[in-house]
Structure 1
């Protein structure tokens, strides 16, 4: 039986800082160490988005709240992606016989931490966009000063501020899953707006667009389908 220690809001906010300052892989490493130490975290469909080191080192699998032994026969690697901060691996684990060690609070901590993490990534994307747009000129001004561009950046900022307002001071389990799914959707929308502002440079391999795409995959991997 796995022993779970309650993870507070301040600890989960560390994932936000790591994501904003270092990238996806370091932030996932922090969250996994806080909530699921030693385990390979998989969502309800058996999908995982994890740092390369986690994929290589975990001996047991956490399947949306229960733990099972890890078996190479039940697992496949979907992709490996190099991003700023480190390589992340996309895995698919077969859903076979499950253990009985269920922790609703552990699941809630993981889910809340993922929203904090994605918010940090999205805020870093906004900062990248602002630097890029402020360095590109059109006529006598910069792209950042164009009205439609400023409006899009402002819309992204509003999304970030509103998501942060909902998350601030919240402990695991305080927000229902439907609210967490809504926050993920708002972060995804902001990311898509911001990546479009980067033009073709936003879609280069290893660039901001790819990082935003993998961030979206994180939400899809670990969210439960609505019943």
Structure 2
């Protein structure tokens, strides 16, 4: 991946890490699918409210939204019902030649989700700083240290993959694997925060949104055949 191309994706990463999923998703839409809804393999989409209300096409493919039958907005799940996002169903998903540009979306989304995971790790370190248990600082407990170290390893592994991946030529399975590794890492990290990791206004909210994006946009199978 060239320096210019890499710089294109570090912005959604940085935004997700510092400002959250909603802001990063808006940035990703600006970079990949302006004035469009990005439809996942099952015809679902998530978009920032302003994007969803102003969208004119379905991406990939540039299909006009006006006149499409069966498209509807759906409520967001309870834990993120107050998020500034809109959810859609009934859209034409990527098919045939549409999979080639869709891999670019999966790459950008992986960078966004990597930023979310990095932000979760930042919050955990801040949350545990200065906290003590009976046998000393929490950050020095073997189980906590091992969990954090494994998360750092997972994030570095995904970052290396995303830096080297060619979204035009490399298999979709490589990107899907990166997404699954981030999901597993997030699940392992949240319990370190205790109950604070699972409240609607805590770090778990961003993780929930990240996982919701994966549910909407990852293909169920990795054997997608992309036309040359």
TM-score (norm 2): 0.84
* In structure 1, distance between residues paired with 2:96 and 2:33: 13
Correspondences of 1:161-200 after superposition (within 5 Å): 161-200=156-195
36, 40, 51: which one pairs with 1:39?
36
154, 157, 163: which one pairs with 1:159?
154
Correspondences of 1:1-227 after superposition (within 5 Å): 8-62=5-59, 65=61, 67-70=63-66, 74-79=71-76, 81=80, 87-95=84-92, 103-139=98-134, 141-226=136-221
Over the aligned positions, Cα root-mean-square deviation in angstroms equals 2.6
* In structure 2, distance between residues paired with 1:167 and 1:47: 24
* In structure 2, distance between residues paired with 1:206 and 1:31: 24
Q: Which shifted more, 139-148 or 198-207? A: 139-148
Aligned partner of residue 168 in structure 2, secondary structure: coil
Aligned partner of residue 75 in structure 2, secondary structure: strand
What is the CA distance between 1:141 and its match in structure 2? 2.4
Confirm or deny: 8 A CA contact 1:13 1:113 kept in the other structure. no
TM-score (norm 1): 0.84
* In structure 2, distance between residues paired with 1:181 and 1:152: 23
What is the CA distance between 1:139 and its match in structure 2? 2.6
Gapped runs of 5+ residues in structure 2? 224-228
* In structure 2, distance between residues paired with 1:206 and 1:174: 40
